[in-house]
Amino acid sequence: MSDSFSALTILQDDEQAFREAVREFAEGEIKPKVLEMDEKAQMDPGLIKQYFEMGLMGIETPEQYGGAGGSFTMACLAVEELGRVDGSVSVMVDVQNTLVTNAFLKWANEDQKKKYLPKMASEWVGAYALSESGSGSDAFALKLKAEDKGDKFVLNGHKLWITNANEANLFLVFANIDPSQGYKGITGFIVERDFPGFSVGKKEDKLGIRASSTCELIFENCEVPKENVIGEVGKGYKIAIETLNEGRIGIGAQMLGISQGAYDATLEYIKTREQFGKSLSHFQGVQFQLSEMRCLLESTRLHVYNAARLKDMGRDFVKDAAMAKLIASRNAEKIASMAVDLFGGNGFTKEYPIEKFYRDAKIGQIYEGTSNMQLQTIAKMELNS
């Protein structure tokens, strides 16, 4: 990757060193296992242990809780560099940092932080459980019910499409304590994997990010202690909205990484693949496509980094997060598609990495808010400004 005067030039020395360390780890430890993990649709358990050892599962977690004490931008850099090699690894680290840990940092009380953040930084994978069969884009139509039983809440119902569910020890779960109140009854709960009445159900067989587990969660009289309510009772909708706003930047970073990986592979391929006695890179039509891919890539990088910086600065970033995710996911699909075209027949085979980048890119326009939801957010904020 060139050192052009782009968004890369705004990185601090510690951020650049961190990026390089993650890239070295991704290239050396993850890349050799990507194809096998994709075929088996399973994350390598040994790699998960290494994510913790590398400090990748508690990047923003303060040092007092066993984390790295880094910035949100650094978390996005890690997600990007991992996505450059494997979108599945990237989203595991992304959900851990930009969704679950971020929610704890902002909404958990001190006892909850002391109990759970050290575990999440050292050994526990986290999952974020909002979606249900009838509650996707309409996030607050959820039906998971929580009943107050004095010293505990009892949860009944199901969650679907929950990332990290197979590996997770901790689940940030949203349920409604009073459906008559609509979204004002939604409350956040910290659910441990071994709580009575909780189980992980069917694992989805997916098109892309196959090594990332996506599962159903089952709550059958699941008992959750009162002290495991995160934030205030009835304020779960606020936690969900604000956390997803941050998470969208993380998905933008994942899509940026996938785009970079597809671009890097294409650049190397067209320099070495020959047709008509010349490398593909000598043909103007190929050069034009490569240039378009590079422009899309840098557009993505600028939007993602800008949104991450605004978040770190404590400034309003909601519209920028929506734009970053929208543009990053669209560009990732476009770049990966162009890469398949330039690889020709080779791009359609599993011998080369391009077909996987293409499959992995599609999810970016769907999860953590579809492209239409991002457009709605952008328009709403523009019209109300």
- Determine the Cα–Cα distance for residues 174 and 151; give it in Å rounded to an integer: 19
Burial of 158 (0-12, 13-18, 19+ CB in 10 A): middle
Beta bridge partners of 214: 163
Say whether 29 is catalytic: no
Contact indicator for 22, 78 with CB cutoff of 8 Å:
yes
Radius of gyration for the alpha carbons in the chain, expressed in angstroms and rounded: 21
Please list, in sequence order, all residues whose beta carbon lies within 8 angstroms of the beta carbon of residue 3, skipping any fewer than 6 positions away: 9
Tokens of 312: 């770190």
- Biggest CA–CA distance in the chain, Å, is 79
CA 157 to chain centre: 25
In the three-class reduction of DSSP (H, G, I as helix; E, B as strand; rest coil), residue 237 is classed as helix
- Determine the Cα–Cα distance for residues 106 and 111; give it in Å rounded to an integer: 13
- Determine the Cα–Cα distance for residues 287 and 138; give it in Å rounded to an integer: 43
Contact indicator for 328, 297 with CB cutoff of 8 Å:
no
Please list, in sequence order, all residues whose beta carbon lies within 8 angstroms of the beta carbon of residue 41, skipping any fewer than 6 positions away: 203, 205, 206, 210, 211
Among the listed residues 268, 333, 368, 382, the single catalytic one is 368
Catalytically active residues, by annotation: 368
